[in-house]
Amino acid sequence: MKKILAVVVLTLLCVQSLFAIEEHDISTFMQNNIDNATTILRDKKIQKNEKSEKLYAIFDSIFDYTLMAQLALGGKQWAALPPAKQSEFTKLFEQKLKKSYMEKLDLYTDEKIVIKNLEKIKDARIHLTTHLMKNSEVYEIIYKFYKDKNGSWMIYDVDILGVSIIQTYRTQFAEILAKEPFEKLLEKLKQPDEPTPKQ
Amino acid sequence: MLRIILACLLSLSLLSSAEYMGANSYGSDDFEAEFNAKNDAKLFDPLSGYNEIMTSFNDTFYEYLLRPTAQGYAYIVPKMARNGIANFFDNLFYPIRLVNNLLQLKFYNSWEETERFVLNSTMGILGFHDIAGEELGIKAHDEDFGQTLGYYGVGSGFHVVLPLLGPSNVRDIVGLAGDMWLNPINYLEARDANLLDSTEESIATTAFYTINKTSLHVKEYDNFKKDAIELYPFLRNFYESRRNKLISE
């Protein structure tokens, strides 16, 4: 009995520490992720679909898609939705983010990404600044982490050249919802990439 | 037995402490403030109706005229030559960068800009080859008058989409007017020295510059535009955030 309990407690503790990314680990953890991602990207033998799947496996553990969806929609709008709609929206939003990322893969050649700086903004916020180097240009990308309920650090937004991805969606969603019902927004998220036919 | 109880207590306290930390950090109000502070809640956009129309006009212009032209041009002119031409123009815009770096008291950057201009104009053969950047790692420091105004605390004012030029705002339009005086490929009668002889030449040169530059970025721009769900707010947000970032640098 004693042993069983001890094992249970131990596994519980281990599980906790397995999934929680600690503050001091963020830099190394992200450097590993970036290195893994770059290796996958550079591998010419892997098909594009397979590539993205492997990359998503990395992302899914560090991106909080639900929070991202919530922030992109805005607190008021989010609170007004029934849970079913919330999760439908979250799913569509996650797909949109991934699709947009997938398309960026086509532009990838041999850029290098290096971690520049880790800054603790507040108790529960960390900004990790990275530089993407292409030819002789340098592009700044900031990953924004927050400490979630489990004490694990998760990404809730990414700044590219000073432009927040969440803010970009937030302004668009606000604009759409000012004129149209929520259903319409879902529709637009479903097939956003078809070039609008010009009459 | 005591041990078990202790272990249980320990794990419980761990759990609750985790929850406590969670409650502290996961305040959605906190997040709301972070994003509302930027611009969407109290966004002042008095020209939104006009801006939206102008955005779709510019987009149509790009899709049906500028992009096909740039692509046709890219088909004829090899990429190396187009890069060279882009470098040549960037080198010509040195006065804009120099003056605005100086106005913002960025003396080291002004010095680097000057080094670049001298090296690239001579060894780089009239600026076609960016020797300073590629061989010596001396990078350009893009500054314009809009950024200078921002640097001294002038607010952006409301958003204005300009015909052909695209997204801008009140501050940056004033900036554009200022930079016009320093732009060598403009023709201004009131200016003592003009590189070009007439307004027609100036328009033709600017068109050539634009087509050449566009031809180098068609893929990126198309890819970027695909992310938009609603083009006008998408571009507006991108432009304003980007400008704020450039001013803060």
Q: Using CA atoms, how far apart are residues B111 and B115, in angstroms rounded to an integer? A: 6
- Please identify, in words, the CATH class of the domain defined by A22-190: alpha beta
Residue B27 within a domain: no
pLDDT tens over chain A, length 199 residues:
666 666 665 555 544 444 566 777 788 888 888 888 888 888 878 887 788 888 888 888 889 999 999 999 988 888 889 999 999 999 999 999 988 887 877 777 777 888 888 888 888 888 999 888 877 778 888 999 998 888 888 899 999 988 999 999 999 999 899 888 999 899 888 865 554 444 3
Closest CA to A175 of A157, A161, A160, A188: A188
Best of A15, A121, A123, A168 to disrupt the B interface (most B CBs within 10 Å) is A168
Tell if the CB–CB gap between A9 and B236 is shorter than 8 Å: no
pLDDT tens over chain B, length 249 residues:
555 555 544 454 444 444 333 333 345 667 877 787 555 445 788 999 999 999 999 999 999 999 999 999 999 999 999 999 999 999 999 999 999 999 999 999 999 999 999 999 999 899 999 999 888 888 899 999 999 999 999 999 999 999 999 999 999 999 999 999 999 998 888 888 888 888 899 999 999 999 999 999 998 899 899 889 999 999 999 999 999 999 998
Q: Which domain holds residue B176?
A: 46-248
Residue B218 within a domain: yes
From A1, A150, A176, residue closest to B22, measured CB to CB = A150
Question: Is B222 an interface residue toward A (CB < 8 Å)?
Answer: no
The answer to whether the beta carbons of residues A101 and A94 sit under 8 Å apart is no
Please state the domain extents for chain A.
22-190
Residue B115 within a domain: yes
This prediction has a pTM of 0.81
Q: Which residue of B has its CA nearest to A75?
A: B32
What is the number of structural domains in chain B? 1
The answer to whether the beta carbons of residues B145 and B139 sit under 8 Å apart is no
Q: Using CA atoms, how far apart are residues B101 and B145, in angstroms rounded to an integer? A: 9
Residue B33 within a domain: no
Q: How many residues does chain A have?
A: 199
Q: Which residues of B touch A13 (CB under 8 A)?
A: 11, 14
A76-126 pLDDT, tens digit per residue, is 888 889 999 999 999 999 999 988 887 877 777 777 888 888 888 888 888
Q: Using CA atoms, how far apart are residues B68 and B70, in angstroms rounded to an integer? A: 5
* B window 134-173, beta carbon within 8 A of A: 134, 137, 139
Q: How far is A57 from chain B (nearest CA, A)?
A: 22
Q: What is the ipTM of this complex?
A: 0.78
